[in-house]
């Protein structure tokens, strides 16, 4: 029997992985507001989908933080929410980002 926390985690993971995913390394820039200034870091995706991506960036963020993702290939940008943070590796943090109202062509691939 699952505990309430385990059940919530399972539901979140199902939502996180909802929809089609494509392994794709896309260079991205993550932007955020802090102390009345705009900050940014560059990273890349491991996989992309119509609703978000798994990205590697050299900056850790808090779950639920609102960010802006810029696809550096086609210059499209979209608001995003950090819904999952994995481990910090040599290349940076693993981040699960959920796009908010991204254009259909955001990643430049069809799903």
Domains and CATH numbers, the chain: 4-100 (2.40.10.220)
**Which pLDDT value is given to residue 17?**
55
Q: What is the pTM of this model?
A: 0.82
Report the alpha-carbon distance of residue 82 to residue 3 in Å, rounded. 24
Under the banding of pLDDT at 50, 70 and 90, the label for residue 111 is: confident
Over the stretch 65-104, which tens digit does the pLDDT of each residue have? Answer: 999 999 999 999 999 999 999 999 999 999 999 999 999 9
| 4-8, 32-36, 37-41, 82-86: range with lowest mean pLDDT | 4-8
Across the chain, mean pLDDT equals 88
Q: What values do phi and psi take at 30, rounded to 5?
A: -105, 130
pLDDT recorded at residue 12: 53
Secondary structure (DSSP) of 40-89: EEEEEEEEEETTEEEEEESS---TT-EEEEEETTT--EEEEEEEEEEEEE
Closest CA to 110 of 48, 28, 46, 18: 48
Beta bridge partners of 44: 27, 56
Give the mean model confidence (pLDDT) for residues 15-23: 70
Res 2 pLDDT > 50: no
d(CA 41, CA 39): 7
The CA angle 102-108-109, to the nearest 5 degrees, is 100
State how far the Cα of 42 lies from the Cα of 105, in Å rounded to an integer: 20
């Amino acid at each position: 029997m699952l505990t309430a926390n385990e059940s919530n985690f399972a539901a979140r993971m199902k939502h996180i992985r909802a929809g089609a995913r494509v392994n794709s390394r896309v260079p991205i820039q993550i932007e955020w507001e802090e102390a009345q200034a705009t900050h940014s870091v560059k990273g890349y995706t491991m996989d992309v989908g119509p609703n978000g991506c798994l990205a590697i960036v050299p900056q850790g963020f808090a779950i639920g933080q609102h960010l802006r993702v810029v696809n550096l290939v086609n210059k499209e940008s979209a608001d995003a929410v950090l819904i999952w943070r994995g481990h910090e590796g040599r290349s940076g943090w693993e981040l699960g980002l959920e796009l908010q109202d991204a254009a259909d062509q955001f990643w430049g691939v069809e799903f």
